[in-house]
Structure 1
């Protein structure tokens, strides 16, 4: 995971506050804690939250993205392979809540399975996004600016044909002016 951590952590000061949003197993929360960051782990699944707390040695807040109510609390938010379980229609509200939880000039990392649309696989719901789809969503958020977007192959065995959209997004302290289209 280090190649994914680097662009995100490079934007944060030593000891910065990070929300691992949708922490799953607690793998990333543990990695950030071991690097000296002040980590809050959050997971909507009570079962996963208990497992993550054991793995990362941190308390894990059980909360859905749709229920986030933190305000200007975090320097960075890490949402790795977690927002992809939020229905597409609910993503604008979730991005708004994530932006509220970030301090001005904070950074947000997100990843989605690369593609477009919603699907069900193995009894789980997925929202897939490509760069244009993410830009369209964030176009509704005047304080969120995409800093970098890149695509990576899935590193897990047997999944080399699956791709991920990764994006690093900055919470602007002042709303950006709308971009004019070139004509």
Structure 2
């Protein structure tokens, strides 16, 4: 399994706190751009959906939304979002061929071990329809380690992440960088990239 038990335990225990942090996505320019890029009636997947706020917003925009998370408390909240089909699954269970017009992995795959990420990205590429859009958000840096809450992270530079996307058969497009304070209360640098199947 590509997410360790300590990380899952933190998210399970702090599910309500995490949900409160993601309450207002109305100003999320990346989510707005992702939704706008989808064709009418598109089928999308939210990988590591957390409490399902983004998935719910996608569904409200008329998309058909599948959402997965490894934490049962998160899946329950995501499943309560109108129009969202959510189930418990790990990154290793991403499967299917040409199913999705878009796949959203917003700061979830950063919990995968470095050795596992290329396989996850290849599975995502297979699950996307030709020309489908993949959104990935990751904390940037180098190495790996745990934050103050005990969550496991693997860090990548933007250049390294783009290289991994290309190696998986995806074509990286626009990218954005920034710095925000997360659940642990510390500022983190991040990179968001849109890539295409």
Could you say which TM-score interval applies, normalised by the shorter chain?
A: 0.7 to 0.9
Q: Which runs of 5+ in 2 are unaligned?
A: 1-24
Rounded to whole Å, the distance in 1 between the matches of 2:161 and 2:45 is 21
Q: Which runs of 5+ in 1 are unaligned?
A: 172-183
1:78 corresponds to which residue? 104
1:118 corresponds to which residue? 144
User: For 1:80-99, what aligned pairs fall within 5 Å after superposition?
Assistant: 80-99=106-125
Rounded to whole Å, the distance in 2 between the matches of 1:10 and 1:42 is 22
Change (3 A) 1:114 1:100: same
Change (3 A) 1:117 1:19: same
SS of residue paired to 2:144? strand
SS of residue paired to 1:129? coil
Quick one: which of 139, 151, 154 aligns to 1:127?
Answer: 154
1:151 corresponds to which residue? 177
Rounded to whole Å, the distance in 2 between the matches of 1:17 and 1:86 is 25
Cα RMSD of the aligned pairs, angstroms, is 2.0
1:181 corresponds to which residue? none
1:52 corresponds to which residue? 78
1:37 corresponds to which residue? 63
**Which structure's residues are more often helix, by fraction?**
2
Deviation readout 1:82-138 (Å, 9 max, x if unpaired) = 111111110000000111110010010000112122111122111122211102212
Contact 2:35–2:61 at 8 Å: present in 1 too? no
Deviation readout 1:17-46 (Å, 9 max, x if unpaired) = 110111001000100011111111111112
TM-score where L is the length of structure 2: 0.79
Runs of 4+ in 1 over 4 A off after TM superposition: 155-160
> What is the total number of aligned residue pairs between the two structures?
170
TM-score where L is the length of structure 1: 0.85
